Structure 1
C-alpha cells in the first residue's frame, strides 16, 4: 500500500467521520484525521484492492456524491416520507420490489445498497448477486416493473457510484 493511498484513504475516512458527526471544530477535525489514519493503517490493504483506481478525480466524485446525497437526495426522501405521514387518510402501498443493478464491483453494490437503505422509505432486504437484483422494501411502492423501480429507487445512486468504483 503506497503512502498516497494511505493519505487518500485517511482523508476520505476523515470526511465521512466529520459528515456523520456534524461537528467541524479543530479538535473534531484532529480526531477525524487520527481515526482515519488509524483505520487506514490497519485496514487499507484489505479494503483497497486496486490501488491504481485511486485518483483525485474519483476522490472528488466521491466528495461531490456525498454532498449531493446528504443534501438533495436525503432532503427529498425525508420530505416524501413526511408528506405520507402528515397526509390525512393517506393510502400508501408498502411492499418489496425487485430492483436490477448493472454494476460489478463489490464496492459499488454495497454503496448502492447502503444509499438505498439510508434513504428514508426504502430498505434493501436482500441482494441476489447471481441475477443482479436488490430486493427493496419500499414504504410507498410507485412501480412494480423492474426497470421503473430501478429508475425510482436506485438509478441515481448507480450512475454516480459506478463512476467512482467501477
Structure 2
C-alpha cells in the first residue's frame, strides 16, 4: 500500500496529533527518519512509544517531490496552486482544526499582555491556514466543497447542522477575519 502524502512536516504532525493510540493518548516521542519505498519514492517514518500505554506507534508518509523548509506563517501545505488538497485530512477536519486553533485566541487584542500576543497571533495564523486547506477542496468551477469530500467522523461532525459551512465565500470570509485579527495581535 502506498502511504499518503504529507506535504509538510506540520501536516504530518497534525495528522498524528489527531489520531491517538488505541489507549486514547495522542502524544508519543516521535523519532523520525527518511526511508525509501519499494517504488523508489521517499517517505518520512515517525515512530515511538505511546506516552499513555507504551505501545509502539508508527506513521509513514510519502514525501513531496520537492521538499521545502517549513513556512513561518503556519501553513500546512504549500501556498497558491503548488499543491492540491490534503491526502491526510478532509475539508471538515480542516474546519475542525481551524475552530480548535481559533478557540485558543482572545476575540479582541485589547488588554492582552504583550507576552501573550505572539501566541494569539500564531494560533490565528494556524486557523487561517487550516481554512486555506479546506478551500483547496473546492473545485475551480464550484461554489463549495462537495459533500462527498467529507469522509471522516470528525469532519462530518464539524459541518453537521451548519448548512453552507463549506461554501467558498464563507471559508474565505472566515479565513480573512482570522488573518485580520492575527495582524491586530502583531
TM-score by length of 1: 0.31
Bigger fraction of residues in helix: 1
